Amino acid sequence: MINKKVANAEDAISDIKDGDTIMLGGFGLCGIPEKCIAALVRKGIKNLTCISNNAGVDDFGIGLMLQQKQVKKMVSSYVGENAEFERQLLSGELDVELIPQGTLAFRCMAAGYGMPAIYTPAGIGTEVAIGKEVRNFNGKDYLLEKAFEANFAIVKAWKGDTAGNLIFKATSRNFNTVMAMAGKITIAEVEELVEPGELDPNHIHVPGVYIHRIFKGSDYEKRIEKKTTSV
C-alpha cells in the first residue's frame, strides 16, 4: 500500500505555482485547510484561482491570501463575511464568479466522477445563465454547467491514515468530500494520522485512491465565524 504521508504543509504544497487553480474545502470556517492556507501565504505565490464556498474572514482562512493579493479570481457561493473581499471586488482588483451553492457542489462532483458537465435548473432566468447553453427536458429548462478543472484540491479531515483514507467529523464534511475527489492532485491535512488498517472501513468518507498527499497538522484554531447570543 502506498504511503502518501508528507512531513508538513510546506512539503504538501511545494509544487503549487503562480497561476494555478485550487479547490479549498470548508464551509465558513468549518473544515477549512488552515495549515495549507498558511503555508500558501508564506510561500507568496500569486495569481491563483480559488474555488471555495466562501472566502473566509478578513484575518483567517482565504482572507489571509486576499490580504496578500495572492488571489486573482474567486469562484464562490457566499462571500458576505469578508470586508477585504468586498473592497477588492468593488475596486476591480479581484475577478469573482458567484454561483449557486448546489451548482458549486455538483460541478465539484462532476469533476470527481469524470463527467464533463451537468444540467441544472438553478440560475435559469438570471445573470448566472448569460452566455451558457440552456436545454429543455420534459418541458423544463436546464442550464449547462461545466465540471471544474482544478490543478489541486486541498481539504481538511478529522482523521486519516497514511494511505489517504479520510474520516470527517460532523459538518466538516461539507465541501471537503466532493472536492477531495475532484482535484488532479488532492492534499489532505488531518488532526489525527494513523497507520492503514486502524480506521473502520465502514466509517471512511473518502477512500485513499483520491488522495495524493496527507500530513498531520497541530494546534488548530477552530474559530467560530459568527457568534449569535441572546439574553
Place of cell 477585504: 84
Q: CA 124, 130, 133 angle in degrees (round to 5)? A: 70
Q: What is the pLDDT at residue 42?
A: 97
pLDDT for 16-75, tens place per residue?
A: 999 999 999 999 899 999 999 999 999 999 999 999 999 989 889 999 999 999 999 999
**Per-chain mean pLDDT for the chain:** 95
Mean pLDDT of 135-141: 97
pLDDT higher than threshold 90 for residue 224: no
- Give the integer Cα–Cα distance in Å for 224 and 213: 28
Residue 58 lies in a domain: yes
Q: CA 8, 9, 15 angle in degrees (round to 5)? A: 115
- Give the integer Cα–Cα distance in Å for 18 and 207: 29
Spacing of C-alpha 57 from chain mean position: 15
Classified as helix, coil or strand, 187 is: strand
Residue 155 lies in a domain: yes
Residue 127 lies in a domain: no
Q: Which domain holds residue 88?
A: 19-116+148-216
Which CATH number does the domain housing residue 39 bear?
A: 3.40.1080.10
Please tell me the total count of domains within the chain: 1
Q: Find the range with the poorest average confidence among 23-37, 117-131, 134-148, 214-228.
A: 214-228
Residue 76 lies in a domain: yes
- Give the integer Cα–Cα distance in Å for 190 and 170: 14
Q: What is the pLDDT at residue 82?
A: 87
Please, which residues bridge with residue 191 across strands?
none
Residue 221 lies in a domain: no
Residue 134 lies in a domain: no
Q: CB within 8 A of 93, min separation 6: which ones?
A: 69, 87
Residue 73 lies in a domain: yes
pLDDT higher than threshold 80 for residue 174: yes
Mean pLDDT of 128-152: 96
pLDDT higher than threshold 90 for residue 87: yes
Residue 105 lies in a domain: yes
Q: What is the pLDDT at residue 157?
A: 97
Q: What is the pLDDT at residue 74?
A: 96
pLDDT higher than threshold 90 for residue 215: yes
Please say whether the beta carbons of 186 and 211 come within 8 A: yes
